[in-house]
Amino acid sequence: MSATPETNAPAPQVSAPPVPTPPVSALRLAGLVRRFGDTLAVAGLDLDVPVGSFYGLVGPNGAGKTTTLSMATGLLRPDAGAAFVHGIDVWAHPVQAKRLIGNLADGVRLFDRLTGEQLLGYTAMMFSVPRAEIAGRVSDLLELFDLRAAAGTIVADYSAGMTKKIALACALVHAPRLLVLDEPFESVDPVSAANIEDVLRGYTATGGTVVVSSHSMDLVQRMCDHVAVVAAGRVLAAGTVDQVRAGQSLQDRFVELVGGRHASEGPQWLRQS
């Protein structure tokens, strides 16, 4: 007599496939809010910056760009929301987060009674760059930004363009994983600007991430692979440059999103005929 098959045997256990872990963003802003008195400068702003991207932040004057970047880098505490750099909460763990950031902030004064060489060395020491590596890094950056001849000049005597370049060199000296640059090309001559572009392209090509705030749509469209349009403290559109411009030039798309263009030839008294 043949054995009867077991009908109540438990079904074989099939393990569920592992759920892939989403990649950590280089910079994630979640619900950032900031008020200055009765003015709401940033109104619940969200942004996700992928690792290795060259991300442009554009908006009209007063849009909240500088305030947003200040909160993202630990310079200005938000009233609400959070900022994360490679998964580290900027405000819960500021020291760990700031080690990963190179920051060129608008309006932040340098120690301008130091020479350019001294300022770079001092900045490297603040970020705990190994002492044996500091001189080499300072030398490389002075050469890279064409500041060798001004290395022994105090920064207070630098031109506006030279000051911008030494500030960017300070942002790079500790080899950060994220660069946050507020108007980095302002007051910089075309040759220096081209050199800076090359430096930043090389930086992102090796896995670094750049977030740049700029009023130049041409620069953002030429250099950036991602862009966010900000107005009134909110993100109006964000994504790759092609996604945001939607078949238009970035300039035209920006004006369409932000509004405020006046279709007028100006007042009669201003016309020359």
Residue 190: give its domain's CATH number. 3.40.50.300
Answer yes or no: do 94 and 184 share one domain.
Answer: yes
Mean pLDDT of the chain: 89
Whether 84 shows a pLDDT value over 70: the answer reads yes
Last residue of a domain, one of 175, 194, 212: 175
DSSP secondary structure letters along 181-225:
EESTTTT--HHHHHHHHHHHHHHHHTT-EEEEE-S-HHHHHHH-S
Give the 3-state secondary structure of residue 35: strand
Place 208 in a pLDDT band, splitting at 50, 70 and 90: very high
Q: Is residue 196 included in any domain, yes or no?
A: yes
Is the domain of 150 the same as that of 188? no
User: Which two three-digit tokens encode residue 135?
Assistant: 């001189």
CB 56 within 8 Å of CB 47:
no
- Are 67 and 113 members of one domain? no
Structural domain that includes position 94: 23-100+177-249
- How high is the pLDDT of residue 262? 62
Q: pLDDT by residue (tens digit) across 169-205?
A: 999 999 999 999 998 888 788 888 888 888 899 999 9
Q: Is residue 262 part of a domain?
A: no
Mark whether 125 and 150 lie in a shared domain.
Answer: yes
Confidence of residue 67 (pLDDT cuts 50, 70, 90): very high
- Position 6 scores a pLDDT of 55
Q: Per the domain annotation, does 263 fall within a domain?
A: no
What is the C-alpha separation between 118 and 124, in angstroms, rounded? 10
Question: How many CA atoms lie less than 13 Å away from 148 in the CB half-sphere?
Answer: 6
Residue 65 lies in a domain: yes
pLDDT value at residue 15: 62
231 lies in the same domain as 134:
no
Average pLDDT, integer, range 237-265? 87
**Domain shared by 48 and 166, yes or no:** no
**What was the pLDDT predicted at 268?**
80
In contact, 232 and 269? CB cutoff 8 Å? no
Quick check: is 267 in a domain? no
Instruction: Tell me: do 82 and 66 sit in the same domain.
Output: yes
Q: How far apart are CA 238 and CA 136, in angstroms?
A: 39
Conformational region of residue 18, where left means phi above 0, alpha means psi within -120 to 50, and beta covers everything else: beta
Say yes or no: 182 and 64 in one domain: yes
Instruction: Check whether residue 126 and residue 215 sit in a common domain.
Output: no
Whether 43 and 90 share a structural domain: yes
The structural domain count of the chain equals 2
pTM for this prediction:
0.84
Tens digits of residue pLDDT in 4-59: 555 566 666 666 666 555 567 999 999 999 999 999 999 999 999 999 999 999 99
Contact yes or no for 250/220 (Cβ under 8 A)? yes
Asked if residue 11 belongs to a domain, the reply is: no
Q: Is residue 216 part of a domain?
A: yes
Question: Is 187 inside a domain boundary?
Answer: yes
Q: Of 101, 124, 112, 213, which is closest to residue 160 (Cα–Cα)?
A: 112
**So what's the pLDDT on residue 266?**
75
Residues 133 and 170 in one domain: yes
Chain centroid offset of residue 35 CA: 22
**pLDDT per position as a tens digit, 105-152:** 877 789 999 999 999 999 999 999 999 999 999 999 999 899 999 999
- Could you report the per-residue pLDDT of 154-164, keeping only the tens digit for each? 999 999 889 99
Is the same domain home to 165 and 182?
no
